[in-house]
Amino acid sequence: MRPSARLGVTLLTLVLITFGLMGPAGAAEISGEVQAPTVNCTLDVTAGGFTEHRNAEGELTSLDSIPAVGGVECTAPMSLISLDVLVTDPQGQVRPLAGGACTYCSSAPASAIPYTCTQGNGQNCSGKWVAGYQATLQLPAGAHWGSVTEGCSIQGTSAVCEGIQPKVIPLFNTPKPPVCPEAPAAIGALARPTASAADDCIELPDGVTLPELDYLSIQNIRAFHFPGGKNVDDSKGLFNKDLTDGQLEKIFNAGLRDSMPFEKNGRSYYEKTFNYSGVGTSSAQKGSLPSTQITLVISKHGDVVTMYPV
């Protein structure tokens, strides 16, 4: 297994939120009048995201959360300080990464909550993660707020602060060449010429996002095009039953790099058929013969719709 690598971009970047620009809270007598104290609070939290663990094929095996640091500091004791650092996984489940809460206090440090996501056995760790924070601050009696900076809103004697930061963690981190640039169209031309293999770039139809073979795409391929899949019938070409996800990624990348162009089909998807042997058979309707070609179908938005032996 490769050594774990820390994410290049943190899930939640440094957040600095300050209430008020006046001096420390406290009563001051000016011309015989007692001034109500102004409270300044700073929310300074950094959540480091995740450390990725991958196998020799570049496939994600697990994620470990990097402990959050920081917290809330105020210039006077508050009636309430509540802080939560959360992350929403690719399935939409919210998980805590850090928290802190106290009453009649002037600070609440973020206490890290360790979290590990293990890929496999029905659990998916790849895809879009969204880190965020939520903080609620309640003024003490008789105090008032100064100004409020970005990310927070004052609601009477309370202030509510929220923020999010998305991050996509791919199932595979296989390096890919860039998408070929669009060639200047000649007068009357409707399409750009196909790039040659020497260009070392991926040729896609104009406006199509570079696709990634993700967890859901693989689940769909296994349901329709693997022996025993719940949607298999006599019209489906089948991959060999022992083919791994890493091998599917290898076939997918070969299809992206193949010089055959993607063509728009009748369902407004884009597909190509390319040479690739030894990984499956044709459909039962075509004799279940050893397959020598693979069809890859993608969407405009970069989804892998399906992939199967011909």
pLDDT digit string, tens, across residues 216-265: 999 999 999 999 999 999 999 999 999 999 999 999 999 999 999 999 99
Higher pLDDT, 282 or 67: 282
- CA distances in angstroms from 310 to 142, 219, 232, 271, 282, listed in the order given: 76, 19, 14, 13, 5
Helix, strand or coil, per DSSP, at residue 220: helix
What pLDDT digit, counting tens, does each position of 26-57 carry? Answer: 333 334 455 668 998 888 888 768 999 999 99
Question: Which residue did the predictor score with more confidence, 14 or 124?
Answer: 124
Instruction: Say which residues have a Cβ less than 8 Å from residue 267's Cβ, sequence separation at least 6.
Output: none
- Cα–Cα distance between 73 and 262 in angstroms, integer? 57
Q: How confident is the model at residue 69 (pLDDT cuts 50, 70, 90)?
A: confident
Alpha helices in the chain (DSSP H): 215-225, 245-257
Residue 92: band (very low, low, confident or very high) from pLDDT cuts 50, 70, 90: very high
What fold, for 5-169?
A: Immunoglobulin-like (2.60.40)
Do 38 and 164 meet the contact criterion of CB atoms below 8 Å apart? no
> Is the full-model pTM beyond 0.85?
no
* Residue ranges per structural domain of the chain: 5-169, 197-309
Q: How many percent of the chain have pLDDT more than 70?
A: 81
Q: Are strands 127-138 and 158-169 parallel, antiparallel or unpaired?
A: antiparallel
CA distances from 169 to 8, 11, 18, 89, 110 (A): 11, 10, 32, 10, 25
pLDDT value for 148:
64
